[in-house]
Amino acid sequence: MEFSAEQIAEILKGKIIGEPTITVNGLAKIEEGRTGTLSFLSNPKYENYIYTTASSICIVNDSFIPSKPLPKTLTLIKVEDAYACFAKLLEVYSNLSKKQAVIEQPTFVDESAKVGTGVYLGAFTYVGKNVEIGENCSIYPNTYLGDNVKIGRQTTLYSGVSIYDACTIGENCILHAGVVVGSDGFGFAPDEHGVYQKIPQIGNVIIEDNVEIGANSTIDRATMGSTIIRKGVKIDNLCQVAHNVEIGENTAMAAQVGIAGSAKIGKRVMIGGQAGISGHLEIADETKIVAQSGVPSSVKKAITLMGSPSFPIDDFKRSFIGFRKLPQLMNRISELEAKLEALTSKNK
């Protein structure tokens, strides 16, 4: 797939500095650019690469002024925000490379299911009773859609995704390979003999529009009611969201985050990798949780938390300075104890 600088500038509403007819057929990081590729520069620390890159076209900010001669083979496209514009191009490229509408065989689609127009169903996909799939969805091979599942329009489910019965996925969502939505919540109660008895999980999962969930993440169904992922949420790979959790709009969490049952996460919360959040608590809107933090109690107002158990990041940093000095302090205490003992013995 080939694009000229003119076509790219038209898409991005940018200004061309160089050869408007030059073409590219691939994308590359600016430090790895080669002839025929498109790169971008937004972070000043990578500026040196623009003077040596072999890329044919580079997207830069309007404010960029070269401090050295640029390669003669390089054409610039100046835009207001180079990073955002490059992301837009990636989206265009992704849409152009989407699977064509077809139902591959072998595939099982129950006769009661409703499949919209323009849908791609990969081979070995299972579509259960009363399933509804919106138009222009892409559902890759080996995907399982249980009975009464609803999938909104223009949603993509990659290979090996499993959506259990009665769960709902919104529009423009992306679920990467191995995602499981609607598996049973971790509900068990010990009987009089201490043997765990399973508590039936009869709720579902509701995922709203524009949500992306990374590979091998799991979203458990509610015991009763719904586990809810609000619109715009972004979940990285290998995350666990337990039963009856609610995650607010435009919240983002990095890999290996675990959220225990019935926790309520606010809007625009940012959660670093490997953080853990206890159950039955509430996290205020716009809270930030640093990687590997453990949150044992509710957060009433927006703050940045760090540590396990977590507490405000500035307090954590001060505490950490003290913690690092503990070996020295212990040595000084030992020395003082020895001197005190010597003085005591001398006085006796």
Q: Which residues are catalytic?
A: 243
Instruction: Enumerate residues 6+ apart whose C-beta is below 8 A from 284.
Output: 266, 299, 300, 301, 302, 303
Tell the burial category of 192 from Cβ atoms under 10 Å away from its Cβ (0-12, 13-18, 19+).
exposed
Give yes or no for a contact between 284 and 271, defined as CB atoms under 8 angstroms apart.
no
Burial class (CB in 10 A: 0-12, 13-18, 19+), 36: middle
Tokens of 63: 């404010």
Cis (ω within 30 of 0) for the bond into 106?
yes
Whether the CB-CB separation of 55 and 70 falls below 8 Å is answered with no
Give the integer Cα–Cα distance in Å for 30 and 56.
10
| 153 vs 136: CA distance, rounded Å | 6
Rounded distance between C-alpha atoms, residue 127 and residue 120, angstroms: 13
Q: Amino acid identity, residue 234?
A: K
List residues bridging with 276 in a β-sheet.
258, 294
